[in-house]
Amino acid sequence: MSLDPFKVFMDLQLGLPRNGPGSDASTARAYDLAPRPEGKDGVEVLVLGCGAGAEVMTLLDFPETRVTAVDMMKPFIQELEQRADAKGNVAGRLRTVCEDFEHLSVPKGVFDLIWCEAAIYALGFGEALTLWQPFLKPGGAIVVSEAVWLTQTPSLNAVDFWDRMYPEMKTIGETTALAEQVGFVVESVFTLTKEEWWQEYYTPLRIRIQKRLADLLGQGIEALAVIRDLEEEMELYETCGDEYGYAFFILTPSKGKA
Ligand SMILES: C[S@@+](CC[C@H](N)C(=O)[O-])C[C@H]1O[C@@H](n2cnc3c(N)ncnc32)[C@H](O)[C@@H]1O
């Protein structure tokens, strides 16, 4: 009997420090750069595609935040809740919602910040900004990390991989132009370093794969296909990691919007 590829994927991802490239430092840097309301009311943050919530934990380190965290995978939400319990200083500042961020049930017009790290690709950058903008309060901002080309002349290997995985991937300039086209101003942009891909994501993922490999070898072709895809992604980053990366975009609606 072969294993469900989804179960294999979740088993590899659960318990990792993060579920995508990033770091506490880059989350905190983006938070510092984002416009936020002053005063006693605090900062209402909607985190979309939170996974097991690495960025949620960092955002909760700022005592003024209240976070609504959304992911469609129940096991990730459960792990986030365990992390928050273990953290201990969250008391009443975290709400979790297990749902599709294309069909949000949370109220519109109440969030100071909408936050999405390494997940906006699932909807598409322009589509997501348009869909999520009504959930912002006036004066609010959207903060996203998005995969980008860092060169105009990528190698064939990189083009071949990303044409299959995320053909919509653009340069920072093209992504900025798309944000403007759908009614946003790009207030700040910065890129993740290579260490921020390896330290908390790829290196722990590789160790996890090595630990599970013996078990998975006997579990059928689907289980191995999950590992092959992840290994292909990491090997490409080893050889072509200068050609693409992740960039944080801090975005506010253009005048006249929200
Ligand atoms: C690459 S992981 C990033 C997780 C987390 N933000 C991080 O950086 O560690 C992408 C996450 O987006 C979630 N996701 C993808 N599509 C989604 C959707 N349509 N609605 C809600 N969550 C989604 C996945 O379940 C996954 O947890």
CA atoms of 251 and 117, how far apart (whole Å):
14
Residue 179 lies in a domain: yes
Q: Is residue 228 part of a domain?
A: no
117 CA to centre of ligand 1 in angstroms = 8
Alpha carbons 104 and 251: distance in angstroms, whole number: 20
pTM of this prediction? 0.96
Protein residue closest via CA to atom 23 of ligand 1: 49
Q: Is the pLDDT of residue 258 over 80?
A: no
Three-point CA angle 250, 252, 254, nearest 5°: 140
pLDDT at 216 over 70: yes
Residue 49, class by beta-carbon neighbours within 10 Å (0-12 exposed, 13-18 middle, 19+ buried)? buried
Domain-embedded: residue 11 = no
What is the DSSP secondary-structure string of 78-99?
HHHHHHHHHH---TT-EEEEES
104 in any annotated domain:
yes
Please report which confidence band the pLDDT of residue 257 belongs to, taking 50, 70 and 90 as the band edges: low
Inter-axis angle of helices 203-217 and 221-240, nearest 10: 150
3-state DSSP call for residue 23?
A: coil
Residues 119-137 have pLDDT tens digits of 999 999 999 999 999 999 9
Hunting for tokens 């976070």 — which residue is that?
67
Between the CA of 71 and the centroid of ligand 1 the distance, in Å, is 6
Has residue 154 got a pLDDT over 90? yes
The whole domain housing 106 covers: 18-145+167-199+244-253
Task: Give the pLDDT mean for 178-202.
Answer: 97
Residue 60 lies in a domain: yes
CA–centroid distance for 125 within its chain:
12
Question: Does residue 2 lie within any of the structural domains?
Answer: no
67 within 8 A of 89, measured Cβ to Cβ:
no
* Overall average pLDDT of the 83-112 stretch: 94
By C-alpha distance, which of 82, 178, 71 is closest to 119?
71
Helix/strand/coil for 132 = helix
Query: Quick check: is 207 in a domain?
Result: no
Question: In total, how many domains does the chain have?
Answer: 1
Q: What is residue 91's predicted lDDT score, i.e. its pLDDT?
A: 78
Assign residue 42 the CATH number of its domain.
3.40.50.150
Does residue 76 have a pLDDT over 90?
yes
Report CA(69)–ligand 1 centroid distance (Å).
11
- Confidence bin at 17 (pLDDT 50/70/90): very high
What is the pLDDT at residue 256? 59
Quick check: 149 and 245 in contact, CB under 8 A? no
Closest CA to 57 of 23, 29, 33: 23
Position 188 in a domain:
yes
What is the torsional sign of CA 114, 118, 122, 124?
A: positive
**Closest C-alpha to ligand 1, atom 10:** 119
Residue identifier of the C-alpha nearest atom 16 of ligand 1: 122
Structural element, H or E, at residue 221: helix 221-240
* Lowest-confidence segment of 35-44, 126-135, 136-145 by average pLDDT: 35-44
Residue 170 Cα, ligand 1 centroid: separation in angstroms?
20
